[in-house]
Amino acid sequence: MIDEILAFTDKLGRLLATFKISLILGIIINIGIIYVLFKMTEILMTKLKEKFSSSENSLAVNHVIPIFEKIVKFLIVFIITASFLQSQGYSLTSLIAGFGITGLAVGFAAQQTIASIFGTFSIVADKVYKIGDYIKVNNYEGYVESINLRSTKIRTLDNYLVTVPNDICADSVVENVSKASKRKLDMTLGVTYDTSDEKIQKAIDIVKEVLTERSDIHKDFHVYLDTLDSSSINIKLFAYVKTKSYFNFLQIRGSVYQSIIRKFRAEGIDFAFPSRTIYMAK
């Protein structure tokens, strides 16, 4: 009886030893597979960084790639671990259910953050804007200072720093002013009603002359008599300035105004101002 017990104990010990060896061997193999896949992922992400390093959205891409790399590595660990546990006879139903409940809780808690991350992917993929662009979004406008995974920082003309979540940028109408190859110059010049017909025509000719002389104005401009306002005869100027910069545009517009004012005064053409004439009945 004792011999049988000893023999059974010996067989059980050898079985457990074999099981431990196979378990340890399986763990080592899976760790090796995970390590190789991690290295392949890192090489792939490095190639992607190099590919987009010269693109206009390189800084935004460099923010997106690290989070994408972490997601891929998490999926690798999860799939390899699940496959190993399945091969050892463990049921994955409870494990997957646990991950589902945890993921649901995390999803509700981080819903806004996840939406912003997907908004970042959308901004980068559509090339909506890049760092340094002048944009208008959600009643804010200014220069893009940084594009992070969660938000875009805009420096307004008042020097305020506005942080807009990327999901809002992705779902809003974004005006990228820096993408414009030229800027519209739209002016209304009012002269007084006592201006003679000859001087009105002279005023139109002066405006055309000023625009023609400038090399920073496109030649497809339009100047015409526009409206008879309550206190002025209005001359309309419509042209395009050869600049993308908003500050350069302001300087050119101011210079055009100065040239027109100087030439109007030289010709004795008076600018109108709000006025009213009252006639008294006897």
> What local confidence, expressed as pLDDT, does residue 73 receive?
83
Q: Which two tokens stand for residue 3?
A: 């011999």
pLDDT digits (tens, 9 = 90+) for 171-219: 778 888 877 778 889 999 999 988 999 999 999 999 999 999 999 999 8
- Residue 149 three-state SS: coil
Reported CATH class of domain 2-109: mainly alpha
Tell me how far apart the alpha carbons of residues 201 and 215 are, in angstroms, rounded to a whole number: 24
> What local confidence, expressed as pLDDT, does residue 110 receive?
52
Tell me how far apart the alpha carbons of residues 212 and 112 are, in angstroms, rounded to a whole number: 54
Tell me how far apart the alpha carbons of residues 5 and 225 are, in angstroms, rounded to a whole number: 116
The Cα angle at residue 75 between residues 42 and 77, in degrees rounded to 5? 85
Q: Which two tokens stand for residue 37?
A: 């896949």
pLDDT digits (tens, 9 = 90+) for 3-37: 555 555 555 455 445 555 666 666 777 788 888 88
Which stretch of DSSP H or E encloses residue 240? Answer: strand 233-241
pLDDT digits (tens, 9 = 90+) for 53-83: 655 555 556 666 776 777 788 888 878 777 7
> Which CATH fold would you assign to the domain 183-266?
Alpha-Beta Plaits (3.30.70)
Contact yes or no for 234/226 (Cβ under 8 A): yes
> What local confidence, expressed as pLDDT, does residue 118 receive?
65
> What local confidence, expressed as pLDDT, does residue 100 receive?
57
CA atoms within 13 A on the CB side of 53: 7
Which residues does 74 contact at the CB level (< 8 Å), separation at least 6?
none
> Which CATH fold would you assign to the domain 129-179?
SH3 type barrels. (2.30.30)
CA dihedral 140, 127, 67, 31 (to 10 degrees): 180
Tell me how far apart the alpha carbons of residues 183 and 56 are, in angstroms, rounded to a whole number: 22
First to last CA, the chain: 144
Mean pLDDT of 138-163: 85
Q: Where are the domains of the chain?
A: 2-109, 129-179, 183-266
